[in-house]
Amino acid sequence: MARRDVEFSAEDVTLRGWFYLAEGASGPAPVVVLAHGFSAVKEMYLDKYGESFAAAGLNALVFDNRNFGASDGEPRQEIDPVAQVRDYRHAITYASSLDEVDRSRVGVWGSSYSGGHVLVVAAIDKRVKAVVAQVPLVSGYENIRSLVRSDFIGGFREQFDADREARGRGEAPATVPVVDKDPMAPSALPTPDSYQWFTETHEQRAPSWRNEVTLRTVEMLSEYEPISYIHRISPTPLLMLVARQDVLTPTELAIGAFQQAREPKKLVVLPGGHFDAYVDGYDHSMPPARDWFLEHLGG
pTM strictly above 0.95: yes
Classify residue 220: in a domain, yes or no. Answer: no
Residue 201 in domain: no
Domain assignment present for residue 163? The answer is: no
DSSP state letters, 260-294: HSPSSEEEEEESS-GGGGTTTTHHHHHHHHHHHHH
Average pLDDT for consecutive 10-residue bins of the chain (299 residues)? 95 97 96 98 98 98 98 98 98 98 98 98 98 98 82 78 96 95 88 96 98 96 97 98 97 98 98 96 98 94
Any bridge partners for residue 60, and if so which?
A: 20, 32
Instruction: Determine, yes or no, domain membership for 148.
Output: no
**pLDDT in the model for residue 47:** 98
CA dihedral 125→217→50→248, nearest 10 degrees, is -100
In-domain check, residue 155 = no
Judge whether 265 lies within some domain: yes
* 243 to 76, 135, 205: CA distances (angstroms): 30, 6, 23
What count of other Cβ atoms lies within 10 Å of the Cβ of residue 13?
Answer: 16
What is the number of domains present in the chain?
1
- The answer to whether residue 52 is domain-embedded is yes
Look at residue 166 and tell me if it is in a domain. Answer: no
pLDDT reported for residue 2? 95
Nearest to 196 by CA among 294, 279, 97: 279
Q: Quote the strand ranges of 36-127, DSSP E.
A: 59-63, 101-111
CA distance 60 to 25: 13
Do the bridges between strand 59-63 and strand 14-20 make them parallel or antiparallel, or are there none, so unpaired?
antiparallel
| 22: containing domain | 3-143+225-297
Confidence at residue 165, expressed as pLDDT on a 0 to 100 scale: 97
- CB proximity list for 251: less than 8 A, separation 6 or greater: 242, 243, 244, 245
Beta strand pairing call for 238-243 and 128-134:
parallel
Q: Residue 103's CB: how many other CB atoms inside 10 A?
A: 15
Strands 175-176, 213-214: pairing kind: antiparallel
CATH number of the domain enclosing 275: 3.40.50.1820
